[in-house]
Amino acid sequence: MLKNLDVPFSNNVLEQKAYELIRFHARKDDWTPALPIPVEAILERTLDLALVYEDLSPLGESVLGSLFPVERTVYLNENYLQSFDDCPGMQRFTIAHEIGHWQMHVNQAVLSQGLLFGDSDTRIICRDGDRDMKESAADRYAARLLMPKDLLQEAIPCYNVQTSSGFRRLAESIGVSFTALHYRLGDMAVQHAW
């Protein structure tokens, strides 16, 4: 059920996969792509995945979210509700991260056969700070899904990203954290002071 990740996904492939999902959602939901990207709608209506809040502490203290492919469910750790509220964009990034796992690491074609082969309990777990190859790919995918290059480039001129306040207003307007925006702009080689 889980795809074997023999080689890492390139940033170009991740960008393409994120754009494909955004375009698919736009057609399906009769939506014109714009920031902020509606990741919950994409998760629930386009990918037909459920979103559930649950105590995930038995999986580990630093678990923010989990994808259970057989159940077609993304779980967010209810113990992080305050953190999700305190850090704008953290919950949206976690959802986008789990969408990344669904898109890249789950073989949906054989998902229903998972029960036959005994891996029905397989979960993909998102631990804060985890840096393995799959987690890194899911993070990079999430950044591209939440901040598609063309839409982000259109938004940047409306804000002075050379100032902290302008940078923060841009992050807030597109529903991402300061840190996520910082890394995404750096990845796009956009000059900014923060």
- With H, G, I as helix, E, B as strand and everything else as coil, classify residue 77: strand
Residue 101 tokens, joined: 């796992």
pLDDT tens, N- to C-terminus, the chain (194 residues): 555 544 578 999 999 999 999 999 999 999 999 999 999 999 999 999 999 999 999 888 889 999 999 999 999 999 999 999 998 799 999 999 999 999 998 887 776 565 444 444 567 765 555 567 888 999 999 999 999 999 999 999 999 888 999 999 999 999 999 999 999 998 888 766 65
In a domain, 105, yes or no: yes
Contact 1, 110 (CB under 8 A): yes
Q: What is the CATH number of the domain that holds 134?
A: 1.10.10
In whole angstroms, how far apart are CA 40 and each of 1, 29, 51, 118?
Answer: 24, 13, 8, 30
Contact 65, 77 (CB under 8 A): yes
Sheet containing strand 124-127, edge to edge, reads 50-54, 73-77, 63-68, 124-127
My answer on whether omega of the bond before 88 falls inside 30° of 0, hence cis, is no
In a domain, 159, yes or no: no
Instruction: Find the domain containing 22 and state its range.
Output: 11-146
Backbone angles phi, psi at 100, to 5 degrees: -60, -45
DSSP assignment of 133-176, as one string? HHHHHHHHHHHHHHS-HHHHHHHGGGS-TTSHHHHHHHHHHHT-
In a domain, 194, yes or no: no
Domains in the chain: how many in total? 1
In a domain, 158, yes or no: no
